[in-house]
Structures are given as structure tokens and as C-alpha cells.
């Protein structure tokens, strides 16, 4: 079975963008691949975090992933900081990565622009190398992510190929897997920026744990154009096209089918139907989430996951250290 690896940051709440762009694919792939999914708490530390909140959010995000349909008997779910090899391989790969390459990463440039330059952490700069380490530790073939991670995946491939060229075949060079629709869900208040949990305006995103009334209200307020035609046209109608994408993915219906249903009916009806489709998608996830959090089962799932992950990661790390000429202990 081919290997899959992907990670999710425990920063804030997950959005329907994370769910449709990534987690839905994680759930599907567990049926056909050997999957490793990771709550990447070390990545979250690249920007200031409140310690108590970080711990809580790490468990919450893990529980949301299981509640979304990840089955502990079919895949491995773990916390990044539970497997030391991630940080260690990251250092080794930093020695193989160029300053210029990291300076070209658009996510770094965007995040750094939003902070005062002098206080941007060095780790925010080297963040993509830790991501490469995550992936390469598991001899990963396929990495399901949203569109925003494409550049980081290209860098991962470059690092893997460079290492293999310099030290001989060591790493599997992974392929990126981005869904054809849903790879980039946009904000509800601005269809030119992606929906993000770090947006200060909660009206810009639908959180996985939003109550039905909140979802109705957010969708009701979502920005649209001044027309009334429900038609998929990302150039002319980016807001409606984004809502149609969400509607289609939540309902399992085709975009054409939804367009036909709302022909001549205007945006209010359409938004009403969309809100119900989103609520119906999230209801079972929310119910499963609350059950999991009450039972405390998530800690055990993560503990077992870390044991499984550690075994594979350490074998890869030993191979890498050997190739690089680091002397093993007796
Ligand atoms: P993160 O935590 O920001 O997001 C988790 C996953 O959700 C996807 N995503 C979206 N997809 C569609 N539309 C959106 N609006 C949207 N917002 C987020 C992301 O693309 C991602 O797949 N650097 C990564 C975490 C990471 C990782 C890894 C991923 C660390 N190591 C190794 C893959 C492999 C991140 O910050 O994702």
C-alpha cells in the first residue's frame, strides 16, 4: 500500500475550508492507502502561542479529525512533538536547503509582512523545511493538501531530489494531491482571499463547530455581487462561484444541478439552501466531536499513533544520518 502523509496546524478552530480542501480527502484515502496524519504543534510555535491554549487546541483539532471520519483502526493519527525525529530531520534538511529558496516562499512573505520584521521568528523562515521533514520521514508517496500548500510541496520534492543526488537514493519523492474542486475555498467576505482560521473576522469563515444559527447568519451575510443569477463563473461571479463550490461539495450534487434548482429564484433562496446543506454536513461531525471530547478517548488514539509513527520515523532518520556520515552509537 502506498503511503500518505498530511498535517494540520492546531491554530484556532478548523474551518470548512480545511474540511473540504484537506480532511475529506484524508478520510477517503484511508480506505486505499497507509495514511499518517499529524497535528503539527511544532509548526504552530513559529508564531507566538499561549501554552495552555496550544495544548487544548492540539487535542481539539485531533478530535475534529477523528470526528470527520478518520478511523483509528485504518490510519495513524499523532501529535508532531511526540515524535522527536521530526525536529531532528528538520535540522539535517536545513543543511540541504538554500536561504534563497526559503525567501521565495509566498506563505512566509505574507506572514512576515503582517508582523514587524525584527520580530519574525527564524522558525517561521525555516517552517517549510520542517514540513519537508514531516513528509520525507514516512517514505510518503502522496500528500493531500489544499492549493495554498503547493509551493511547500514543490520545495519538499526539490530537497528530496537534492539529497538523493548528493547521498544516493534515500527519500521517496512525494506527489502533491490537490482536489479538483475545493482546493481553495475562499473567504465569505472577500472572494479574493482564501478562507482562513487566522482571519480576525469570524464572519469570513465557517468553523467546523459553528452552531446551525451561526452558520445561517454567516451565509446570509456572505458577500455577493449585485445581480441575482446563480451561475458558476469564477471570473465574473467569484463570490457565487465559491458558494456554489461549497454547496456542491456539501450536498454531493453537481454545480449544474444546483444552478438549475435556483434558476430565477435569486440569492436569498440559494443561501438558505446552502446553509442547510452545510449544517447537514457538519451535524454528524459536531456530534462525534462532542462525544469524543467527553470520553477522553482522543489521548489514547494519539498515544498509539505516536508509537506507530515513531517506529517508521526513526528508521528513516537512522538511514539519513548514516548517509550523511554521522557516526552511529556503538
Ligand atoms: P493548515 O493547518 O493551514 O491547513 C490544513 C489543511 O487545510 C488546507 N486548507 C484549505 N483548503 C482549501 N481551502 C482553504 N481555504 C483552506 N485552508 C486550509 C491546507 O492546504 C492544508 O492542507 N503547512 C501546513 C501544515 C503541514 C503539512 C505538513 C501539510 C505541516 N506539515 C506536511 C502537509 C504535509 C498548514 O499550515 O496547513
pLDDT level of residue 119 (50, 70, 90 thresholds): confident
Rg (CA), the chain: 21
The predicted-structure confidence for 250-294, as pLDDT tens digits, reads as follows 999 999 999 999 999 999 999 999 999 999 999 999 999 999 999
pLDDT above 80 for 116: no
pLDDT per residue over 83-112, tens digit each? 999 999 999 999 999 999 999 999 999 888
Among protein residues, the one with the nearest Cα to ligand 1's atom 37 is 8
**CATH class of the domain at 202-289:** mainly alpha
Q: Tell me the CA–centroid distance for residue 118 and ligand 1, in Å.
A: 26
211: left (phi over 0), alpha (psi -120 to 50) or beta: beta
CATH 3.40.50.620 region(s) of the chain?
A: 3-177+296-324
| Res. 114: pLDDT tops 90 | no
297-321 tens-digit pLDDT: 999 999 999 999 999 999 999 999 9
Helix H, strand E, coil C: the string for 46-113 is CCCCCHHHHHHHHHHHHHHHHHCCCCCCCEEEEEHHHCCHHHHHHHHHHCCCCHHHHHCCHHHHHHHH
Range(s) within the chain of domains with CATH label 1.10.240.10: 202-289
- Is the per-residue pLDDT at 12 higher than 90? no
The CATH superfamily of 3-177+296-324 is: HUPs (3.40.50.620)
Confidence of residue 214 (pLDDT cuts 50, 70, 90): very high
Using the mean position of ligand 1's atoms as its centre, give its distance from the Cα of residue 139 in Å. 20
Catalytic site positions: 111, 194, 197
**Alpha-carbon dihedral angle through residues 249, 44, 81, 64, given to the nearest 10 degrees:** -30
Supply the pLDDT for residue 15.
97
pLDDT at 11 over 90: no
Q: Rounded to whole angstroms, how far apart are CA atoms 171 and 183? A: 27
pTM value > 0.75: yes
Give the range among 107-111, 179-183, 243-247 with minimum mean pLDDT.
Answer: 107-111
Average pLDDT over residues 170-198: 96
Ligand 1 — pocket residues by CB below 6 A?
A: 5-9, 17-18, 21-22, 40, 43, 131, 134-135, 143, 145-146, 148-149, 183-185, 194-196
Gap from CA of 187 to ligand 1 centroid (Å): 15
Whether the pLDDT of residue 142 is over 90: the answer is yes
- pLDDT computed for residue 112 by the predictor: 85
Torsion of the alpha carbons at 102, 108, 112 and 114, rounded to the nearest 10: 160
Amino acid at each position: 500500500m502506498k503511503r500518505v502523509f498530511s498535517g494540520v496546524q492546531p491554530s484556532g478552530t478548523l474551518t470548512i475550508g480545511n474540511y473540504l480542501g484537506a480532511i475529506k480527502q484524508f478520510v477517503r484515502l484511508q480506505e486505499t492507502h497507509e495514511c499518517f496524519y499529524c497535528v503539527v504543534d511544532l509548526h504552530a510555535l513559529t508564531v507566538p502561542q499561549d501554552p495552555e491554549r496550544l495544548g487544548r487546541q492540539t487535542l481539539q483539532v485531533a478530535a475534529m479529525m477523528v470526528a470527520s471520519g478518520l478511523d483509528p483502526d485504518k490510519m495513524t493519527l499523532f501529535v508532531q512533538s511526540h515524535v522527536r525525529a521530526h525536529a531532528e530531520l528538520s535540522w539535517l534538511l536545513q543543511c540541504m536547503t538554500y536561504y534563497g529558496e526559503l525567501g521565495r516562499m509566498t506563505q512566509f512573505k505574507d506572514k512576515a509582512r503582517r508582523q514587524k520584521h525584527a520580530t519574525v521568528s527564524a522558525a517561521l523562515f525555516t517552517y517549510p523545511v520542517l514540513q519537508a521533514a514531516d513528509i520525507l520521514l514516512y517514505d510518503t508517496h502522496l500528500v493531500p493538501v489544499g492549493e495554498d500548500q503547493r509551493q511547500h510541496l514543490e520545495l519538499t520534492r526539490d530537497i528530496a531530489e537534492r539529497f538523493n543526488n548528493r547521498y544516493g537514493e534515500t527519500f521517496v519523492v512525494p506527489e502533491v494531491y490537490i482536489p479538483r474542486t475545493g482546493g481553495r475555498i475562499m473567504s465569505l467576505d472577500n472572494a479574493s482571499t482564501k478562507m482562513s482560521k487566522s482571519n480576525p473576522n469570524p464572519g469570513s469563515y465557517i468553523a467546523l463547530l459553528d452552531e446551525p444559527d451561526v452558520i445561517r447568519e454567516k451565509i446570509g451575510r456572505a458577500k455577493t455581487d449585485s445581480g441575482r443569477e446563480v451561475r458558476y463563473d469564477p471570473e465574473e461571479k467569484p463570490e457565487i462561484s465559491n458558494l456554489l463550490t461549497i454547496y456542491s461539495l456539501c450536498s454531493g450534487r453537481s454545480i449544474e444541478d444546483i444552478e438549475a434548482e435556483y434558476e430565477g429564484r435569486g440569492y436569498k433562496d440559494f443561501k438558505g439552501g446552502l446553509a442547510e446543506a452545510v449544517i447537514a454536513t457538519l451535524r454528524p461531525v459536531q456530534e462525534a466531536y462532542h462525544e469524543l471530547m467527553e470520553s477522553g478517548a482522543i489521548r489514547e488514539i494519539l498515544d498509539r499513533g505516536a508509537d506507530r509513527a515513531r517506529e517508521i520515523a526513526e528508521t528513516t532518520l537512522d538511514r539519513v544520518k548514516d548517509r550523511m556520515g554521522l557516526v552511529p552509537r556503538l
